Amino acid sequence: MNSNNQANLKPAISGLVSTIIPIYNRPRLLLEAVNSVLNQSYRPIEIIIVDDGSSDNTLAVAKQISSTNSEVSVLSINNSGPGLAREHGRQAAKGEFIQYLDSDDLLEPRKFELQVQQLVSKPECGVSYCIQQFSDIQGHILDPQWMRSGQRFDTMFPAMLGGRIWGTPTPLYRACLLNQAGPWSSLLNEEDWEYDCRIASIGVKLDYRPEVLVTVRSHGEIHFGQINHHDTKKLSDKASAYEAIYRHALAANVELSNLEFKKFNRMVFFLARRCAERNLNKDAKRLMQLAKFSAHGFRRKLEYMLYTTLSYVLGWNRVGKISAKFDKRRS
């Protein structure tokens, strides 16, 4: 168990579900997210809103919500990103079960009731997940089974390696499992995928509720993980996340020949090209090394070796830009 996590080994309150909501400059949607938790058919619950250094009236709105409901508390930190905001809330949480909820998403009223019921009856399972739907802000359903939440998986790996199988609010975790996995990272991009892959490396078993219990909403506002063209910090953090995910997969003994590992390998390669295009050459070189190490089969290894050689001859940034133009034409 991670020694940095000893402080969070306080006894959990049996049956309590702790919901952690990180928020940054989004007061308009916060009340709806909080109400979707307060409207749960299950009790006991606690809601921990973590304001991540908002520069508008978000903190005031959060405190107003807390002042009218004893189940809601508010924490405030300097702007640090979603991962550290969630970790701040996790350290304060008292529950046996942990729910992460982004401030733009909604929970169905019976989510806690059904998922806690499953975890209580299945002590071998550390996570219960469900179907999540994707909608616009007006409530029009754009995808009734978003990502791979409509599929049943018994374990998180190897499926999680090919891309997240769910959104942040979909799983309900046992707090003891998260203690074992350790704290959220300070990454500003793909921090949620890295976190789930770290949990996956423990070998946790999953419970699946084949019902829509979560709505993830598209609202047109800036998302925590969104990368714009000039945001090299987030792109570099994405590269670091991929490296960590690779280590988690190795720790879980996922075979390079596995289809999900092959998907991940290609994502690493294309991210290396993108980093090179943005002149993040150190990240690009590390990712290309990772792509070569994790490639399955001579053909892939040869492709990556040729790309690396070409990059050293012509320049990483130049080859990255050429690759980007080729990708755009192909799409």
Question: Does the pLDDT value for residue 111 go beyond 90?
Answer: yes
Question: Does the pLDDT value for residue 230 go beyond 90?
Answer: no
Question: Does the pLDDT value for residue 171 go beyond 80?
Answer: yes
User: Which residue reads 């975890």 in tokens?
Assistant: 119
* Average pLDDT, rounded, for the chain: 94
User: Domain ranges in the chain?
Assistant: 3-218, 255-330
Q: Return the structure tokens found at 11.
A: 């006894």
Fill in the amino acid letter for 259. L
Helix (H) or strand (E) holding 115: helix 111-121
**Interacting residues of 211 by C-beta distance below 8 A, sequence separation 6+:** 114, 130, 131
User: According to the model, what pLDDT value does residue 221 have?
Assistant: 56
User: According to the model, what pLDDT value does residue 110 have?
Assistant: 98
- Of 3.40.50.2300, 3.30.540.10, 3.30.70.580, 3.90.550.10, which CATH number belongs to 3-218? 3.90.550.10
pTM, full prediction: 0.92
Pick from 84, 51, 97: which is nearest to 192 by CA? 84
CB atoms within 10 A of CB 264: 26
Fill in the amino acid letter for 253. N
How, if at all, do strands 13-23 and 72-77 pair? unpaired
Q: Return the structure tokens found at 268.
A: 């690493």
